[in-house]
Amino acid sequence: MQIVADIMTKDVVTVRRETTVRELAEIFENRNFGSLPVVDAEGNLTGIVTASDLIEQGKNLHIPTVISLFDWVIPIEGERTLERELQKMTAQTVGEICASDVVTVSPSDSVSNAADLMSDRKLHALPVVSNGKVVGIVARIDVIRSVIQ
């Protein structure tokens, strides 16, 4: 049985919450990555940021559908949805656009477990974490390559 440690990329590029959106865009462009782990000063995983998160900045603002009831205006999607959308569109740092709920695997997990997580959650990459630290990243292409070998 093949494990994640056998196929993961060990030289992981990470960003910090303080990294600017402009610096992030340059990394995505120059390195051709789709997602990057976000770490703190000690290298502990704190989030993940994707190219999709960055694209949110360029989209048009969606004004939510509302219901008018007795002089009240109630957004159907909720005020929090509009607030999150505005925050992502005006973000200046990675910390403002990254997701903090990160799906991870450990180096000893099976490749099939990683593949299941990617498929079930529609993820393109999973940070590989050991004792809270990012030790690698496994992407869909890594899983595909493991099938070929």
pLDDT per residue of the chain (149 residues) written in tens, 0 to 9:
899 999 999 999 999 999 998 899 899 999 988 899 999 999 999 999 998 888 765 544 444 454 555 555 555 555 555 556 556 666 789 998 899 999 999 999 999 999 999 999 999 999 999 999 999 999 999 999 998 87
Query: What is the number of structural domains in the chain?
Result: 1
**Cβ 64 vs Cβ 81: under 8 Å:** yes
Domain with residue 143: its CATH number is: 3.10.580.10
Domain hosting 57: range is: 4-148
